[in-house]
């Protein structure tokens, strides 16, 4: 069902996020008929623009551009929006530095936005546990929690959402999704580029804050949570929170690529990690004893995000008498080529009982001919509809920070050459995810 009579206010509308992601996503929703008139997209920022000069910054259809307006600053923003009509749904996207979220929420409330407006903020939600608690308190002083939408764009990826369908719409897999059958879970997130222009932010964060504490931990929650009683946002959040409360970080190894300290806006003596290997545990009846391994970094040998579930080896009987039969495995390819791979063993043709490895694959590009929506399209549409399923709650952010807090900025920092994959330290039997690179490519 299309959304109509809505207003989207973008704070920091002259910035890169609005230009590259937000406005193009809204324009695509318009073209797909998922948002319809009456509609207003109101940009706001410190830069002075007219409506026309603001519109000229974006390559969007003329019909959509006509809905775009601009107001300088926050003072008088609600009055300016009201000049374009009364709206059933108003969302404010704070495309601003996270350090300004608290003050921005207070100013928005003073302008009259708190009662009927939803506030969307981007990660990072704090720098550690204490700062996350402070931020949540500041936001709660101005906006009800039900109106705060914390974006984790990984949750809006189609391949990530499909994890829930894979787990809970197929009776084939549900009975074996536990520690009795799964020997390990591995999450691999590699980037082949360095920090680029993000040095000022990244050097204060590091890869654990930037990727692990939010994106990859949210993935882990979807992979390991119990079945929710419904697809209602609160029921799903309840199960994710149960995972976070029982999740334990067992060990962390950190690395930094050679030349990182010479990157723009990076301290010459920086001890910020650009690579991390982690071992986690989830102390529940379902997952106790199944180790979780995470490997993530920048300036590595390849780009790709994958998840591997390795099942326990067969007894040394029948076809596995010598113990050389590879275990079954499920690999979720999150990006860049979305898909699911199932590794099986089958008989080779001929008279002898010879066993070989076989893969069964599901590739998005082959199964669905329609365009896969970009993450911000889904997130903005859900916010307009009031659906909080793909957004992160205050409790989730605080519980996640609490788990990682003892390991932030701690431990030896190993160096590695850009374009290489550092040798494993905590876990020696990593899946060769690179071997799956051609699948679905």
Q: Which residues are catalytic?
A: 215
User: Which tokens hold the place of 286?
Assistant: 């379902």
Asked whether the beta carbons of 277 and 186 are under 8 A apart, the reply is no
- CA nearest 432: which of 188, 168, 165, 102? 188
Dihedrals phi, psi of 406, to nearest 5 degrees: -65, -15
Cα 315 to Cα 147, 290, 334: the distances in Å are 53, 18, 32
- Angle at which helices 101-111 and 129-140 pack, to 10 degrees? 0
- CA nearest 184: which of 220, 208, 212? 220
CA angle 366, 368, 369 (to 5 degrees): 90
Asked whether the beta carbons of 297 and 311 are under 8 A apart, the reply is no
CA distance 73 to 188: 42
Q: How many CB atoms lie within 10 A of CB 305?
A: 25
**Which residue's structure tokens are 């020696």?**
428
Q: Percent helix, strand, coil in the chain (nearest 5)? A: 35, 25, 40
Rg, the chain, Cα only: 24
- CA nearest 286: which of 177, 186, 187? 177
CA distance 252 to 287: 20
- CA nearest 143: which of 70, 85, 84, 90? 90
- CA nearest 35: which of 101, 109, 87, 100? 87
Q: What count of Cα atoms within 13 Å lies in the side-chain half-sphere of residue 300?
A: 21
User: Which tokens hold the place of 283?
Assistant: 């102390």
Name the H helices within 292-407: 364-367, 375-385, 394-404
């Amino acid at each position: 069902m299309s959304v109509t009579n809505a207003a989207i206010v973008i704070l920091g509308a002259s910035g890169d996020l609005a230009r590259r992601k937000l406005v193009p996503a809204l324009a695509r929703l318009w073209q797909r008929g998922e948002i319809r008139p009456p509609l207003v997209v109101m940009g706001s920022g410190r830069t002075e623009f007219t409506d026309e000069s603001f519109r000229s910054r974006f390559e969007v259809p003329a019909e959509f551009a006509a809905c775009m307006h601009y107001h300088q600053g926050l003072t008088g923003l609600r009055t300016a929006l009201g000049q374009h009509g009364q709206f059933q749904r108003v969302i404010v996207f704070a495309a601003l530095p996270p350090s300004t979220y608290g003050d921005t929420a207070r100013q928005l409330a003073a302008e009259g936005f708190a009662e009927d407006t939803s506030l969307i903020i981007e990660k990072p939600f704090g720098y550690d546990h204490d700062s996350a608690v402070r931020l949540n308190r500041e936001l709660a002083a101005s906006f009800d929690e039900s109106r705060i939408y914390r974006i984790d764009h990984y949750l809006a990826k189609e391949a990530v959402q499909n994890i829930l369908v894979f787990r809970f719409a197929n009776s084939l897999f549900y009975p074996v999704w536990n520690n009795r059958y799964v020997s390990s879970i591995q999450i691999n997130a590699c980037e082949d580029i360095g920090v680029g222009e993000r040095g000022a932010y990244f050097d204060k964060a590091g890869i654990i804050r930037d990727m692990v504490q939010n994106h990859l931990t949210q993935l882990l929650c979807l992979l390991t949570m119990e079945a929710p009683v419904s697809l209602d946002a609160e029921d799903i959040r309840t199960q994710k929170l149960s995972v976070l409360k029982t999740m334990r970080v067992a060990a962390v190894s950190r690395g930094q690529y050679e030349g990182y300290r010479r990157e723009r806006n990076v301290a010459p003596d920086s001890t910020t990690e650009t690579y991390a290997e982690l071992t986690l545990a989830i102390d529940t009846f379902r997952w106790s004893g199944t180790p979780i391994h995470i490997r993530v970094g920048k300036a590595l040998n390849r780009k790709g995000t994958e998840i591997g579930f390795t099942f326990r080896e067969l007894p040394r009987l029948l076809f596995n008498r010598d113990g050389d039969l590879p275990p079954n495995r499920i690999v979720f390819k999150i990006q860049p080529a979305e898909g699911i791979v199932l590794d099986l063993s089958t008989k080779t043709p001929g008279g002898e009982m010879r066993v070989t490895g076989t893969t069964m694959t599901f590739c998005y590009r082959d199964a669905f001919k329609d365009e896969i929506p970009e993450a911000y399209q889904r997130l903005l549409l859900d916010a307009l509809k009031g659906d909080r399923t793909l957004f992160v709650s205050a409790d989730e952010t605080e519980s996640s920070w609490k788990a990682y807090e003892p390991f932030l900025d701690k431990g030896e920092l190993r160096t590695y050459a850009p374009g290489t994959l550092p040798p494993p330290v905590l876990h020696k039997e990593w899946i060769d995810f690179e071997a799956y690179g051609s699948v679905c490519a």
